[in-house]
């Protein structure tokens, strides 16, 4: 059975004290996870060691970095390497979030390098893909996300692609006033799995978790997660509210 994952992306939010409190509020609720379920907290760099320490004794709870650089080390002021993340016990990293693509001009080739170096250091990439409102309106969203997968992931072996978690972000449904329906989420997730099946076969594609990242909330999580090809969520704003994120965790299959 594929892993069902509730991943919290805190983005650039919370002071250290607020981060400690938020993490404690979620963990103290003691949500018991099934063997196939995971909770991942993608926290800002300064909080990685603290958060990793807090989840160390929790079954199936993990911490992720929100980004890493393409190189192992060197004169890259302000960057953080996968080797550094590995050295502090981090086992997951978000790669290619829509905000990284838009604000920092990260392209598919760069993201392929980031995926490679994460895997080299035994870090699970949470690889993000998705389309803008303009692309959705043009009806070319399937082609767009297929190119993202092909240019950033298709070089991977059958073994390595199963070490990747994919997160679909319908950028057009985030902060635009438009809403992605459950049917639209399932349709795109099925398409992504079909792209993977074409390249690797169904035995491999059926083993890859694909998360939904389009304004997941406490009120819609269970319905979204009930879709056959939706394996959880990459959660933004709702993950900053402990009660909401706890509800989202409980909505996992």
Domain spans, the chain: 4-250
Q: Whole-model pTM above 0.75?
A: yes
Measured in residues, the chain has a length of: 253
pLDDT at 71 over 70: yes
Eight-class DSSP state of 33:
P
Dist. CA 160–CA 164, nearest whole Å: 7
Which is catalytic among the residues 54, 92, 97, 99? 97
Q: Cβ distance 192 to 151 under 8 Å?
A: no
CA 109 to chain centre: 19
Distances, alpha carbon 14 to alpha carbons 10, 154, 174, 196, 244, in Å: 8, 36, 21, 36, 16
Residues in contact with 76: Cβ distance below 8 Å, sequence separation at least 6, in sequence order:
69
Domain 4-250 class, CATH top level: alpha beta
Q: Cβ distance 210 to 167 under 8 Å?
A: yes
| 169 assigned to active site | yes
| 92 assigned to active site | no
Q: Which pLDDT band, with edges at 50, 70 and 90, does 177 fall under?
A: low
Distances, alpha carbon 131 to alpha carbons 143, 157, 167, in Å: 10, 26, 12
User: Can you tell me whether residue 127 is helix, strand or coil?
Assistant: strand
Q: Model confidence over 82-133: pLDDT tens digits?
A: 999 999 999 999 999 999 999 999 999 999 999 999 999 999 999 999 999 9
Q: Model confidence over 120-131: pLDDT tens digits?
A: 999 999 999 999
Q: Model confidence over 184-232: pLDDT tens digits?
A: 999 999 999 999 999 999 999 999 999 999 889 999 999 999 999 999 9
Which is catalytic among the residues 54, 99, 106, 169? 169
């Amino acid at each position: 059975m594929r892993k069902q994952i509730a991943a919290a992306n805190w983005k650039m939010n919370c002071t250290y004290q607020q981060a400690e409190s938020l993490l404690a509020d979620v963990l103290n609720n003691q949500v018991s996870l099934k063997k196939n379920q995971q909770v991942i907290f993608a926290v800002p760099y300064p909080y990685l060691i603290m958060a990793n320490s807090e989840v160390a004794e929790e079954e199936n709870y993990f911490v992720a970095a929100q980004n890493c650089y393409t190189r192992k080390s060197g004169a890259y002021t302000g960057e953080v390497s996968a080797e550094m993340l590995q050295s502090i016990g981090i086992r997951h990293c978000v790669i290619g979030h829509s905000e990284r693509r838009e604000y920092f001009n990260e392209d598919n080739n760069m993201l392929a390098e980031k995926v490679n170096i994460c895997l080299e250091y035994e870090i699970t990439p949470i690889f993000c893909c998705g389309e803008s409102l303009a692309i959705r309106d043009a009806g070319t969203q399937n082609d767009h996300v297929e190119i993202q997968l092909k240019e950033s992931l298709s070089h991977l072996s059958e073994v390595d692609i199963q070490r990747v978690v994919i997160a679909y972000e319908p950028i057009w449904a985030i902060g635009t006033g438009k809403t992605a329906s459950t049917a639209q989420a399932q349709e795109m997730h099925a398409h992504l799995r079909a792209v993977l099946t074409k390249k690797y076969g169904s035995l491999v594609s059926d083993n890859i978790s694909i998360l939904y990242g389009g304004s997941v909330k406490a009120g819609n999580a269970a319905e979204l997660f009930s879709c056959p090809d939706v394996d959880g969520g990459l959660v933004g704003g709702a993950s900053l509210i402990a009660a909401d994120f706890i509800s989202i965790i409980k909505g996992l299959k």
